[in-house]
Amino acid sequence: MPVKKCACSQLQSERAKFQPVLPNILKKGPAFVKPKFGKPTKSVADQATVKKIFPNTYGLPAVTFVKGNNQALCKKAVRVGVVLSGGQAPGGHNVIGGLLDGLKKANAKNKLFGFLGGPSGIVDNKLVEITPAGMKDYRNTGGFDLIQSGRTKIETAEQLAAAKNNLLKNKIDALVVVGGDDSNTNACVIAEYLKQKKVDIAVIGVPKTIDGDLKNEHIETSFGFDTATKIYAELVGNIERDMNSARKYWHFVRLMGRSASHITLEVAFKTHPNAVLIGEEVLAKKMTLSQVVNQLVDLIVKRAKAGKNYGIVLVPEGLIEFIPEMKELISTLNDALADNEAALAKLNTLAEKKEFILRKLPKKLADLMQSLPPAIAGQLMLDRDPHGNVQVSLIETEKLLVDMIKTRLAELKKQGKYMGKFAAITHFFGYEGRCGVPSTFDANYTYALGYNAAVLALNKCTGYLSSIKKLTNKAQDWVAGGVPLTMMMNIERRKGKEKPVIKKALVELKGKPFAYLSKVRATWATQDQFVFPGPIQFFGPAAVTDITTVTLQLEAGKKVK
């Protein structure tokens, strides 16, 4: 099955001419670098349990690539498979391009195969060879359409056996899994399984998620975060400009980010909204839904007294899961839905299922669920994703906040404590950012991640995640290496069971980015210091085209405007 050629826009035709910059250590090719191994590592938590689950891949040392003669590993031609797993993120095609180029640089006879439709392509043995000619029209483009993606998890004995057999059947020497925390957890499961079966196939991960929650000391950011936040920031900036012109609406903007508020925080840095809700802060303060609403109501009343019946509020997609009472409800619902799956399948309507589940909940949680607007309560009952997570993108938290704010303002108006006008418009920005044309940073970063994954594969570094560090430096000065997947693991409850998963990196309330927000948010609330960032700049001075996220700059200790 040949790779389908994509149609090119004028921008894409020009963007195809862009040649990503590799870190200097990788420029001469895989034959001229060697892995330098550090000390043995351990998981971030639950060490004994994680080690028991991954006895063959636990405790691996971190890897840094250094100069060295490694031409021997390039003599034998190899066959490498690549799979895109989970949601799309800008730059996925450049990962594949970098992987292909790294393999071909080592040995022109090396071959790269893409498994189609995500991990199910491995189980179903659906793959296509990716050639330089077929790759040509996809370089520096958004999307995952070259080989598509999927959310299948390879975890059952049957799936793992099928994956092993198909990898062997196609004589695959290494498998590269491009995905987020759940997908790379699955990559570690596959790596461990192959080790147990004494199958010499390396499994390497690549950190992908626009949510920005796959990071640590070795993974400074996941790819796609830079581009997606720039796209969202342009949209929010456009709304701010319209609002600043009309001065009569409150805009509530929900931004993608299921389990962490990194996107919302970064977009806030880029646009300076009047209010920004950070889920991790709400959780730490143990705020109730009513307290979150009252906080916003206080701001609306304060601005109304100053003659400003307008404003903009940024809301993280996963906010509802950070509110402790809602978090408890969702967690209990997850278990109740999993435990009663067969019984629920026999019920026909959502109302019947809701009534059934209410009887399974503790009274305080049943009362909380019944107090929610019917639409929100219904959305909480929706099917979970393949990883057992509530589909928070389908829960319209921004509309819930607006409804509750309207009710509270009406009460204050009756008491003579609010004389303003409140007209609200809601927005949700999610899919708009996942397949954008990658920024220069992401184009460079993803290409380097893919090329680096090729070097890891050639060195048989199984159970590792491709790591490119020092990202606030120029691309040629980035540091290449790998981090053991088990190092990022902990044990979490999923679908009613304890499972090993890569721990999500949340917004650190003691970290530099949040500390910066704490200093400026009061000024943003009342003084309207809106920023209109405009579209991503692909051409122009490096100070504009190559700029990294504010989050990265702050974490690196750099000053921001």
Which tens digits make up the pLDDT trace of 249-298? 999 999 998 889 999 999 999 999 999 999 999 999 999 999 999 999 99
Sort strands 489-494 and 497-502 into parallel, antiparallel or unpaired: antiparallel
Q: Please, what CATH class does the domain formed by 225-434+510-555 belong to?
A: alpha beta
CATH architecture of 21-224+438-494: 3-Layer(aba) Sandwich (3.40)
Enumerate long-range contacts of 341-345, CB under 8 Å, 24 or more apart.
none
Q: Using H for helix, E for strand and C for coil, what is the string for 443-493?
A: HHHHHHHHHHHHHHHHCCCCCEEEEEECCCCCHHHCEEEEEEHHHHEEEEE
State the Cα–Cα distance between residues 15 and 9, nearest whole angstrom. Answer: 10
Which residue in the list 211, 213, 442, 528 is annotated as catalytic? 211
The model carries a pTM of 0.93
pLDDT of residue 215: 94
What stretch(es) of the chain map to CATH 3.40.50.460?
Answer: 225-434+510-555
Grade residue 304 by pLDDT with cuts at 50, 70 and 90: very high
State the Cα–Cα distance between residues 326 and 344, nearest whole angstrom. Answer: 22
In this predicted structure, the answer to whether residue 545 has a pLDDT above a threshold of 80 is yes
pLDDT of residue 2: 53
State the Cα–Cα distance between residues 304 and 421, nearest whole angstrom. Answer: 8
By three-state DSSP, how is residue 223 classified?
Answer: strand
CA-to-CA separations, 489 to 44, 153, 257, 499, in angstroms, rounded: 6, 17, 20, 10
In this predicted structure, the answer to whether residue 342 has a pLDDT above a threshold of 70 is yes
pLDDT of residue 30: 97
Contact 70, 34 (CB under 8 A): yes
Grade residue 334 by pLDDT with cuts at 50, 70 and 90: confident
In this predicted structure, the answer to whether residue 382 has a pLDDT above a threshold of 90 is no
**339 counts as catalytic:** no
What stretch(es) of the chain map to CATH 3.40.50.450?
Answer: 21-224+438-494
pLDDT tens by residue, 219-230: 999 999 999 999
CA-to-CA separations, 382 to 379, 393, 461, 480, in angstroms, rounded: 5, 11, 40, 42
In this predicted structure, the answer to whether residue 1 has a pLDDT above a threshold of 60 is no
Give me the helix-helix angle, 440-458 and 225-246, nearest 10°. 160
pLDDT of residue 374: 81
Cα torsion through 442, 220, 261, 496, rounded to 10: 110
State the Cα–Cα distance between residues 450 and 141, nearest whole angstrom. Answer: 15
In this predicted structure, the answer to whether residue 388 has a pLDDT above a threshold of 70 is no
By three-state DSSP, how is residue 252 classified?
Answer: strand
